[in-house]
Amino acid sequence: MNDRVYSVAALIAEVNALLGQGFSGVRVEGEVTNASTSGRGHIYFTLKDEAAALDCVMWAGKARRLKFRLEDGLAALALGSLTIYPQRGRFQLVVDDIEPQGVGALQLAFEQLKKKLEDEGLFAAERKRTLPALPNRVGIVTSATGAALQDMLKVLRRFPHLEIVVAPAMVQGDGAAKEIAQAIKSLVDSKKVNVIIVGRGGGSLEDLWAFNEEEVARAIATSPVPVISGVGHEVDFTIADFVADVRATTPTQAAEMVVARIEDQERRLRDARSVLLRDVNRRLQLARTRLTGLAGSSGLARLPERVRLYRERLRNAARLGPALRRVLEVAQTRLNHGVRSLHRLPAQIAAGGQRRLLVSRRQQLQQLISARVASLRARVEAGERALGHLGPTKVLERGYSITSLEGTAVPLKDASLVKRGQTLLTRLARGEVRSLVSAATAEPPVTARTVVRQPSLFDEATEAGETPEETE
């Protein structure tokens, strides 16, 4: 029997020393329960089996290195040292490392993060962004010295107009995930790219692990620029593949996806150009056929004479306006004279007492005025109708046109004044047509004098069955 008296602290210290000598680096397996993480990052949990339970603690420095999340119900193997916590006298295992039983730690971490992000909707198809149809600036996040970069550059450089921006980053090892996430953010912040490729060559699960980190997944998910994930080989799947807008089986295929969009647009442009050229040629041939038919028609041969006739009518119509105004002025003068005569009649009547003469003269005057006004109205209306038939718009409505050199307002009368390559402006009843002269043929000068009846101002009116009325 030991007669030594211990204080509580001394006893626990001595027991801890003995435990440190005999139970340091022990391995304990069991089921994880009551797992929780403190504000400082320490993990507290219990390992239990059917017969007993053991309190465990994993300090924050060790906990940060865990790839997976401790969850209740997980079968695990813990490595650590037994000790008694002095403040509470609690027997516990201080865990240095812990691994899941039956499945690797990395695989478990992969499944846990995958489920977490999937529950948040980051894998949903509706949040995936469409790759740009014609990308002109491509960002690449990969190792600056890896073969994957050269493979991608070889594909992308088939299109010299593509601007390539490389954001180099470690792709494996400690700190790789942070560098990849920062590289993605730097490309987004630069606003210089409209598609980003994140990739590396093949490797083991450990080699590719940086692309399974939550930090990288969040950077891809929050990028406003579409992201293509090209990590490893076809059999390799990473969290980055699930979060990215498009997954490529290899870095080379990721680059092919970018240029395929450009090649597709170029093919569509070529097809559209071919269709357009065929349509233009068909329309041109049709126009040539119609032009040939018009050139041989008798109506076109008589066109110059008819144009000359209508131009003469236009000039006559232009002279008709002042003549009509003069007629109206004469009528107004006569009317004013009649009014003055009416004003003098009362004095004449008073002087002569000829009332019946006044009545007779008044009736005669009214008849004379009415007849004169009717005659003038008829002449004005006839003139207006003639002007309507002879106006430039009416002539153009009948299928004629006025042609002049572009930039001038003088109508063309002689083909010899036109040179090849000049542009003609042809005014129609509705709109204008610009033509490029390919050839001009001048008619030989007229040697014989041809007497042509000068058109009457009222030719159109006469054709319509109307005869101008002349009344004195």
CA dihedral angle for residue 290, residue 296, residue 302, residue 308, rounded to 10 degrees: 50
- Please say whether the dihedral angle defined by the alpha carbons of residues 253, 254, 259 and 264, taken in this order, is positive or negative: positive
At residue 274, the pLDDT reads 80
Q: Is the pLDDT of residue 17 over 60?
A: yes
Average pLDDT over residues 267-278: 78
Judged against a pLDDT cut of 90, whether residue 355 lies above it is answered with: no
8 Å CB contact between 38 and 46: no
Token output for 99: 């691994």
Q: How far, in Å, CA of 449 to CA of 454, rounded? A: 15
- Provide the pLDDT confidence category of residue 466 given band limits of 50, 70 and 90: very low
d(CA 95, CA 44): 10
Most confident of 170-184, 251-265, 266-280, 399-413: 170-184
Task: Choose the weakest-confidence range: 280-284, 350-354, 424-428.
Answer: 350-354
Instruction: Give the pLDDT score at 228.
Output: 95
The amino acid at 185: K
Is the predicted pLDDT of residue 348 greater than 70, yes or no? no
Contact assessment for residue 148 and residue 154, using Cβ atoms and an 8 Å cutoff: no
Contact status, residue 35 vs residue 70, Cβ threshold 8 Å:
yes
DSSP symbols for 342-395? HHHHHHHHHHH--HHHHHHHHHHHHHHHHHHHHHHHHHHHHHHHHHHHHSHHHH
Q: Cα–Cα distance between 353 and 448 in angstroms, integer?
A: 75
Among 185-189, 250-254, 345-349, 457-461, the range scoring the smallest mean pLDDT is: 457-461
14: closest CA among 25, 4, 27? 4
Instruction: Give dist(CA 95, CA 30) in Å, integer.
Output: 13
Inter-axis angle of helices 214-222 and 176-190, to 10 degrees?
Answer: 10
From the CB of residue 141, how many other CB atoms can be counted at a distance below 10 Å?
28
What's the mean pLDDT when you consider all of the chain? 82
* Residue 400: per-residue pLDDT: 80
455: pLDDT strictly greater than 70 = no
Which residue, among 249, 200, 240, 248, has the nearest Cα to 114 in the 3D structure? 240
State residue 347's pLDDT score. 67
Q: Supply the pLDDT for residue 459.
A: 46
| Distance of alpha carbon 234 from alpha carbon 239, whole angstroms | 14
Q: What is the largest CA-CA distance in the chain?
A: 180
- The pLDDT value given to residue 188: 94
pLDDT class of 350 with cuts at 50, 70, 90: low
Output the six-digit token pair for 62. Answer: 């060790």
Q: Please check whether residue 130 is in contact with residue 113, taking contact to mean a CB–CB distance below 8 angstroms.
A: no
